[in-house]
Chain A
């Protein structure tokens, strides 16, 4: 509070005191100069306090308004240009300034209407705490409000590539690829198989192994192709072995079955291709059942035997895996393809020139992401038909893939039916993989392709392509 040294003289010394003495005199009050001086002091002090109180209230109100004003600066990303504006819409505010941006790579500018703009490129990842200062008229004190803005690192820079501990049970290399070169069979040009599988970033981050697997083969004696891919469940401790057993056993069982019953099966297929009657379909489905479906059953039992060997330390659930399986052969009338599928992922016959894609599996999915069914569940052998077949004149590619690929490219089951989505996948593949006949480099190229980025999709990725 301001105080003034008052003169000790007995006559009024200030014009204010003289004015007050005159007014009092008019009112019939005769006060001594000392009384008038004291009165003036008393009045000034009272008014000053009242004035301070009122200003303080105004300040509090303004501060509250500032605190509750809807002022937001969205988070940004480290190293990426950032620009965010917010209007400080509180009446009577002036002199808006922003502090706390030194060294952040950001600057603030304030326009005449009270809009604060933060702009620049944040240098570091982390939170920036900035303070907005301002005043209201007639008061020296500052109002302020703190803001915390997070500048997040680019997720791509955070992934680690941790090796899998050397001593785990059922070890598996982080990547695998294969090329099956088939020159010709029965005088007809044949397609080749290329397949690749890679540990997902989410596994690399944890140093956990690849849970996917595949197996592909061509039998030069009878012209049959077998392709199998499997996705071991991320949450099951031995699923990498589940997928290994599933693909190995299913492929072996199919190849053996085709070597044994192939000729009769081929005759049934030829008869059906000539006349697609119900009677002709029955033997074909029976063979598919005896070869593919039973291969899946065989794979189930092989896993069961493995569980038994674990002496109570593991259950079927620990080996949870999906299985996508196809057999395929070229005939004079075209290509015959049969499939068995359990779990998610996709099997499709893709033909660039046609207007539709043929799906050869129906993915098992639940209400939440990641919910699916597994080969290791007994119920999957009864719940619905899991076998499909198709005869087509020709195709660009027969593809089997785990959800590590189908999820980022198709997202939903409905999109799997859309030919344009498959065109997109094929175009993307063809950018990295040279799908010319007999190109054995395609296996490594396909492995490279598996590194594609897709936010939130970092599961193991496996694909087998007959082209």
Chain B
């Protein structure tokens, strides 16, 4: 069975504590239930969640959508945002989890990566290094989202050409964002072949495209 690996990286630094992270969680829940209405996603999507603050944690290793249960997400009170380290963990997880085609084994679909942050990387050197590492890998799409007014979109542009911005950190915005994410995942399931790069469905008005 061919899987569509979907990696979701979430900033859990202190500034996300409270309502923002609760909203993210609600958004993720909405995403999962919306994906479960898509028969193709239900059969093929595999999800992984990595959180990053001072510490980087793989909260959910790559798990089939139909068997996944959303883990609890915690945030420290304050501290740095180790985005670079998160990308490093992502690459490590991908090496372990994503299946490439061999004559004897069927490869996965090209993975999707979503990264959501409300600040900027504290480990800038590692971040820069990991950006080129991520860019050298093949993804069907890398979608970076800067959440809130304090989020810096500049570093994200280094990671991908697809940078989006959410102005507010409330639950309705996140819900819309993650519904859009589930549409992208649905699209990833269908657009296969000629285009290496996924054509994204247009985002809701709350999600601003950064050029």
Q: Which residues of A contact B (CB under 8 A)?
A: 72, 74-75, 77, 125-127, 148-150, 152-153, 155-156, 158-159, 201-202, 205-206, 233-236, 239, 317, 320, 365-372, 374, 407, 411-414, 455-456, 458
Q: Decide yes or no: A158 and B38 within 8 Å by CB, A75-B66, A368-B138, A372-B193 being known contacts.
A: yes
A236: chain B residues within 8 A (beta carbon) = 193-195
Q: Within the complex, which residue of B38, B68, B104, B194 is in contact with A317, where a contact is CB–CB below 8 Å?
A: B194
A77: chain B residues within 8 A (beta carbon) = 66
B36: chain A residues within 8 A (beta carbon) = 125, 150, 152-153
B191: chain A residues within 8 A (beta carbon) = 234-235
**Contacts between the two chains (Cβ within 8 Å), count:** 122
A235: chain B residues within 8 A (beta carbon) = 190-195, 198-199
B105 at the interface (CB under 8 A from A): yes
Residue count of chain B within 8 Å CB distance of chain A: 39
In contact, B192 and A369 (Cβ under 8 angstroms): yes
* Cα–Cα distance between A320 and B192 once the two chains are bound (Å): 11
Give the dominant DSSP class at A's interface.
loop
Interface string of B173-211 (1 = CB under 8 A from A): 000000000000000011111110011000000000000
In contact, B189 and A152 (Cβ under 8 angstroms): no
Task: State the Cβ distance, A80 to closest chain B Cβ, in Å.
Answer: 12
Closest to B32 in A: A150
Top 8 closest pairs, chain A to chain B, by CB:
A370-B192, A233-B193, A235-B191, A320-B194, A158-B39, A233-B194, A155-B39, A235-B195
* Cα–Cα distance between A317 and B194 once the two chains are bound (Å): 7
Give the dominant DSSP class at B's interface.
loop
In contact, A374 and B67 (Cβ under 8 angstroms): no
B193: chain A residues within 8 A (beta carbon) = 233-236, 320, 370-372, 374
Chain B CB within 10 A, most for which of A202, A239, A365: A202
A148: chain B residues within 8 A (beta carbon) = 69-70
B100 at the interface (CB under 8 A from A): yes
B44: chain A residues within 8 A (beta carbon) = 456
Closest to B198 in A: A235
Q: Which of B100-138 contact A (CB under 8 A)?
A: 100-110, 138
Q: Which residues of B contact A (CB under 8 A)?
A: 1-3, 32-33, 36-40, 42-44, 66-70, 100-110, 138, 189-195, 198-199
Task: State the Cβ distance, B34 to closest chain A Cβ, in Å.
Answer: 12
B1: chain A residues within 8 A (beta carbon) = 455-456
Question: Could you write out 24 A-B pairs with CB less than 8 Å apart?
Answer: A126-B33, A149-B69, A152-B36, A153-B37, A155-B40, A156-B39, A158-B37, A202-B190, A205-B38, A233-B192, A234-B190, A234-B191, A235-B194, A239-B194, A365-B101, A367-B100, A368-B109, A369-B2, A370-B2, A370-B109, A371-B193, A374-B193, A412-B104, A456-B1
A366: chain B residues within 8 A (beta carbon) = 101, 107
In contact, B39 and A369 (Cβ under 8 angstroms): no
In contact, A412 and B103 (Cβ under 8 angstroms): yes
* Cα–Cα distance between A148 and B189 once the two chains are bound (Å): 27
In contact, B192 and A234 (Cβ under 8 angstroms): yes
Q: Within the complex, which residue of B2, B39, B108, B194 is in contact with A159, where a contact is CB–CB below 8 Å?
A: B39
Closest to A158 in B: B39
Beyond contacts A158-B38, A369-B110, A371-B110: 14 other A-B pairs, Cβ-Cβ < 8 A, are: A75-B67, A125-B36, A150-B36, A152-B36, A153-B42, A202-B189, A205-B38, A235-B191, A317-B195, A370-B110, A370-B192, A413-B103, A456-B2, A456-B43
Task: State the Cβ distance, B66 to closest chain A Cβ, in Å.
Answer: 5
In contact, A368 and B38 (Cβ under 8 angstroms): no
* Cα–Cα distance between A411 and B199 once the two chains are bound (Å): 26
Closest to B104 in A: A414
A149: chain B residues within 8 A (beta carbon) = 69
Task: State the Cβ distance, A275 to closest chain B Cβ, in Å.
Answer: 35
A205: chain B residues within 8 A (beta carbon) = 38-40
* Cα–Cα distance between A202 and B33 once the two chains are bound (Å): 19
Closest to B139 in A: A368
Q: Decide yes or no: A158 and B42 within 8 Å by CB, A234-B192, A235-B191, A455-B1 being known contacts.
A: yes
A320: chain B residues within 8 A (beta carbon) = 193-194
* Cα–Cα distance between A196 and B9 once the two chains are bound (Å): 44
* Cα–Cα distance between A206 and B191 once the two chains are bound (Å): 12
Chain B CB within 10 A, most for which of A159, A235, A407: A235
In contact, B190 and A368 (Cβ under 8 angstroms): no
* Cα–Cα distance between A201 and B108 once the two chains are bound (Å): 20
In contact, A367 and B194 (Cβ under 8 angstroms): no
Q: Within the complex, which residue of A74, A75, A368, A411 is in contact with B108, where a contact is CB–CB below 8 Å?
A: A368
In contact, B40 and A127 (Cβ under 8 angstroms): no
* Cα–Cα distance between A374 and B33 once the two chains are bound (Å): 36
Chain B CB within 10 A, most for which of A126, A153, A371: A371
In contact, A458 and B104 (Cβ under 8 angstroms): no
Q: Within the complex, which residue of B40, B104, B138 is in contact with A202, where a contact is CB–CB below 8 Å?
A: B40
A369: chain B residues within 8 A (beta carbon) = 2, 101, 106-110, 192
Q: Within the complex, which residue of B43, B101, B190 is in contact with A367, where a contact is CB–CB below 8 Å?
A: B101
Closest to A322 in B: B193
